[in-house]
Each structure stands twice: as C-alpha cells, then as structure tokens.
Amino acid sequence: MLHVQSLNINYGSKRIVNDFSLTIEEGEIVSIIGPNGSGKSTVLKAISRLIPCESGCVRIAGQLADSMSMKQLSRVMCMLCQSNSCPSDVTVEELVGYGRVPHKKWYERLDANDFEIVDWALQQTGMDSYRKRYLASLSGGEAQRAWIAMALAQKPKLLLLDEPTTYLDIAHQLDVLELVAKLNKELQLTVVMVLHDLNHASTYSDKICVIKDGDIRVFGKPQDVFTMELIRSVYGVDTEIQYTPDSKSPRIHVLKKAQ
Amino acid sequence: MSQNHSNKKTVVLGIACLLLLLATLLSVGLGSVQLSLWETMTTVLGQGTEANHTILWDIRIPRVFLALLIGANLAASGALLQAVMQNPLADPGLTGVSSGAAVTVLFIMLVVPGYSALIPLFAILGGGVAALMVYIWAWKKQGGFTPVRIILSGVAVNAVFGGVIGLLSILYSDKLPAALQWMNGSLSGKSMSDVLTILPYSVAGWIAALLCIRSANILRLGEQVAHNLGQNLNRLRFTLSLIAVYLAAISVSTVGLVGFVGLIVPHMARMLMGSDYRMNLPFGLVLGSLVLLVADTLGRTLFAPLEIPAGIVMAIVGGPYFLYLMRKGGQ
C-alpha cells in the first residue's frame, strides 16, 4: 500500500531523516514512535508532500507519489495534523463537505452523491447528531472525530495521523483510537500514525516503527518490538514489560530514567 | 449553518442594499445646491430643471458611482488578501501596489507634468511592478510563498517606495500641492467617462473575486488542511493575490490612495456575516461601496465649500475603528 524507499530529509543543511525505508501492507495500522525530535512527524509530512525530501521515493498503491498531482494524491491519501484550527463558525457538516473538494473541479458544486458521502462519513464517525454544531463548540475529542469524518469524505485508502491524541484526555484518546481501529477494520483503511503513548501504540497497531535521530531502529509487531533493552536505548528509560499470554500487545510500565 | 442564521444574514444583506440605495440618493442630492430626495428622483428621471439635471449628471452622479465602484474594488481586494495571508491585518497596500503607483504618479506630476494624461496607465504599471517585486522577493524555492514572507517582503518594498515618495516631495516641494489631492485619494473632478472606463474592469474583477470564493474558504482551514485537500497552495496564493492587486491597482489609478477601506470593510463583513466567503464577500462588495460613499459624501459636505478627500476621512475615521477592532482581540 505504502512503500517508502531511502527517504532523506533535510531542514536547511541539517539532515533530519536518514535513509528511511518502510513498507506498509494494505489494511495495516502502523504506529511510528520515538523521542521528541526523532523525525517521526517529519516522515509523515514528507510522505504527504507537505515538506520536500532530498532524495528517495514514495509509492502509494504502486504509484509513484511524485508522478501524481496534489489532487490525485489527495484522493488516495489523507493526512491530519496534531491540531487543526479553523474559523469558529464552521459547522461540522460544512467541514466534512470540504473533504469532497479533491473529487471536484474548482467550479463544481457538491452534488447529491457528495452529500451522501458526507452523511456516510458523519455516521461512520458517530458525528451525525453534531452535524449542525459549530466546530468551535465541540470538545477536543469530538473535534478530532469531525476532522476524521472530513478525512473519510475524501475516501482515501491511506490515512496519516500525526499525534491524533495529543491534546485529548485519556477517555477521548481512547475514543479516537477506537474509531481509527474501527475504520481500519470495517473500511480496510490503511493507517499510519505518530503516537507518543507506547501502550496505545502497542494496543492499536499491527506494526510499530521505532525511530531515533532520523533512523529506523526496529520495525515489526508490537510483541517483537517492545523490549526493555529497546526502550532503554531509544528513550533512556527503564521499564517493566508485561507480556499477556493471549494478547499480542505487551503492556509497558515506565519505571524511571535509566542510569 | 442553521436556517435561522442564514435568514438573519439575508436580512442584514438586504438592509445593507437598502442603505446603499438610500445613501446613493441622499448623496446625489447633497452639495452646494441641495436637492430633496423627491427632487433628486424626478431629476434623475428627467423631470427636473435643466440646471439640476446638469449638476446631477455631470458632477454628482459620476462621483457617487465612482465611490460605489472603488469602494467595492478595495473591499474585494482586501478580502482576498486577508484570505491569502490568513491575517486580518492584511491590506491591499501591503502588496506594494499603492506605494508603487504613488511613486510613478508623483514622478509624472512633479517631474514631467506634461504627461498627466498617462497617469492612470502609469499608476497601474507602477503598482503592478511593485507588487511583482514583493512576490518575487517573497518566493523561495523551498516552500514557495508563505504569508510571512509576503508580508515581510511587502514591508521592505513599501519602505523603499515610501522613501522615494519622500524624496520626490522634498525635491519638488514647490509643485507638491497639485499632487496632494491624488495622494489623499480624492474622488472630485471625475466625469462619467472616468466611471465608464473603470466600470468594465471593476465588474471583471468582482466576477474573478467571486469565483475565488471556494479557494478562499479552503484557505480558512489552514495551510496543512488546504494542502491535504489537494490544493496547490502557491498557485492559490498567487492567483488570489493577482486578482487583489489588479482590483487595487485599477482603483488607485483612478482616484489615488484611499486607505483603510480594504482593511476595515472585510473585517466588518466578517463580523456581520461570519467567515464563510460565500456570505461575506458579496456582502463586502456592498459594504465597501457604502463605506466609501459615506466617507466621500461626508468629506465634501462637512466643511463645504472646503473639500476633504475621501482618503483623509477614511484615515481619520478608520484609524480609531481599527484600534477598536484590535482592542477587541482582533480575531
């Protein structure tokens, strides 16, 4: 689904991401984790062409991203940043409607088919009853769901989420992640997200990609990736890891800074 | 948007249109020869005295029409630029279009006054070149145009052109009074042919601006979202700026420097109509006409027979209003 090959990204003359390669299968949820400044978000931004890369290439569903126009790209891929702002008087329904823009010529209006898709996106995200509400009147978790509804209206195959839970309380964090898991299962949506919480990453991802200093350290299933040694070497933190027999998702308990 | 809200907005738009009509009729009647509303209407319909007919069609009506056109042009220009910059403090002057036009026009008026007939043309040229300079310097290969770079580049270009304006005024201070009218944005002494010249260009500009409504609405969502929705941000910013510069340039070329309309009217439109450009842009056109018409009418009647250029009225009234908006938190 997503094939990233030898991506090099610079900010100015400083190399931020170094020879980054990653292959993600259709229908997978992959979390990218790593310390602050490790280049996690940079990778997502480069994949979505928000920032340019020095070298390397990105293929989406077999097609070279550089050969696609922004508009073509926006029909197969959607990227949501950690916090999105919009004017206080935009309604949820209106916002979700903008998700149809990639499928329209600049002079075309939304038609019945588009409104059906908007309705569908609102239902999928449980935002149907909020459709007339102003975005500014929603709680953080509801707003995040509204943005995800907009993403769905784009009908992408690939969803990129940059720290989708950052500004939310623990219940809303789970809301958003449950929604992502549901959409992944029901719509076969491939998801790549940047997360900070290791347990969230462990619980909700098929695979984990660990980055430090712009290099991939490990890429694999949660039960293979999360070891005390790895977390100590990446974060400099001592942990205790609980491997539940039935689950593929180890629990990570943070103890203290490593000596 | 709920039904209730959109009804309220339709009412506000209706009121603005009515006010505009009323202001137009009143303004046509006001002046050294006062005409009542009734006299104005009968004269316009061809039933009045010969003298009134001449005053109306040769002096007042062209002036009023010009105020309507220029007001709408500047309001649309400001609205588009505020959409591009995502900054409520953006104003057409930011693109260098006013100071560029001012330099060329001053040069003609002060240095080669024989070419005065070419002033409108050179105003557009000077404004266009200055705006082009701003955008060329704002362009960076990595990242293209960003609002901050356009603003900084605009400040720099405006500073240079402002310096040249100062220099010209000092070197030719004896001839300066002739240029003051233009520098302060005066609508006086214009004929119907001036109105007819700018009319098609203005209408074309409004249509172009209205066609940008969806783009402006998408820019509201922030650059990352606009990018995610498949928009080419550089192209979008450039196109909207181009239309804004064009609208400002044709206005400046006709009446000189009228400030604050392009800054304040989009603000007022947003406060009354909300951030959706489908509502606030058409409303802004009406409001821009109304504001400039009122400013010009006040300017020519308050201290009659002295005339205060509309640009000065706008600055004196607009400045404090702008501070008020800032204090309110300037959303």
pLDDT in tens, B145-161: 888 888 889 999 999 99
Nearest-by-Cβ selection for B221 from A50, A86, A102: A86
For residue range A195-252, list pLDDT tens digits in order: 999 999 999 999 999 999 888 889 999 988 999 999 999 999 999 998 877 677 889 9
Q: Do B1 and A107 touch (CB under 8 A)?
A: no
Question: Could you report the predicted ipTM of this complex, rounded to two decimals?
Answer: 0.89
Taking CA–CA distances from B219, the nearest residue in chain A reads: A86
pLDDT of B134 over the 50 cut:
yes
Structure-block tokens of residue A121: 């996106």
Q: What are the φ/ψ torsions at residue A63 (nearest 5 degrees)?
A: -100, 140
Q: Which is it for the CA torsion B47, B52, B54, B57, positive or negative? A: negative
Q: What is the rounded CA–CA span in Å between residue B219 and residue B82?
A: 10
Mean pLDDT of B174-189: 80
Residue A105 forms contact with B (CB below 8 Å): no
Encode chain A (259 residues) as per-residue pLDDT tens digits: 898 988 888 887 888 888 899 999 999 999 999 999 888 889 999 998 888 888 888 999 888 888 888 889 999 999 998 778 888 889 999 999 999 999 988 888 899 999 999 999 999 999 999 999 999 899 888 999 999 999 999 999 999 999 999 888 999 999 999 999 999 999 999 999 999 999 999 999 999 999 998 888 899 999 889 999 999 999 999 999 988 776 778 899 998 888 7
Query: What are the residue ranges spanned by the domains of chain B?
Result: 3-327
Which residues 55-94 of A are in CB contact (within 8 Å) with B? 69-75, 78-81, 84-91, 94
Q: Lowest-pLDDT range, B14-28, B253-267, B314-328?
A: B314-328
Taking CA–CA distances from B227, the nearest residue in chain A reads: A50
Q: Do A86 and B225 touch (CB under 8 A)?
A: yes
pLDDT of B330 over the 60 cut:
no
Query: Looking at domain A2-83+156-257, what is its CATH homologous superfamily?
Result: P-loop containing nucleotide triphosphate hydrolases (3.40.50.300)
CATH 1.10.3470.10 for the B3-327 domain, yes or no:
yes
pLDDT of B105 over the 90 cut:
no
Helix/strand/coil (H/E/C) assignment for every residue in A70-137: HHHHHHHEEEECCCCCCCCCCEHHHHHHHCCHHHCCCCCCCCHHHHHHHHHHHHHCCCHHHCCCEHHH
Give, as one character, the DSSP assignment of residue B58: I
Mean pLDDT of chain B: 87
| Bigger pLDDT: B142 vs A45 | A45
Mean pLDDT of B124-130: 89
Shortest distance between the Cα of A151 and any Cα of chain B, in A, equals: 9
Those residues with Cβ within 8 angstroms of residue B243's Cβ, 6 or more apart along the chain or in another chain: B77, B80, B205, B208, B209, B212
Residues of chain A neighbouring B210 (CB-CB closer than 8 A)? none
pLDDT of B331 over the 70 cut:
no
For residue range B242-278, list pLDDT tens digits in order: 999 999 988 988 888 888 899 889 988 988 888 999 9
Q: What is the rounded CA–CA span in Å between residue A137 and residue A83?
A: 16
Q: If we measure between CA atoms, which residue out of B30, B26, B8, B6 comes closest to residue B18?
A: B26
Helix/strand/coil (H/E/C) assignment for every residue in B59-124: HHHHHHHHHHHHHHHHHHHHHHHHHHHCCCCCCHHHHCHHHHHHHHHHHHHHCCHHHHHHHHHHHH
| Chain B residues bordering chain A (beta-carbon distance below 8 Å) | 1-2, 142, 211, 214-215, 217-218, 220-222, 224-225, 227-232, 274-276, 331
Q: Do A101 and B225 touch (CB under 8 A)?
A: no
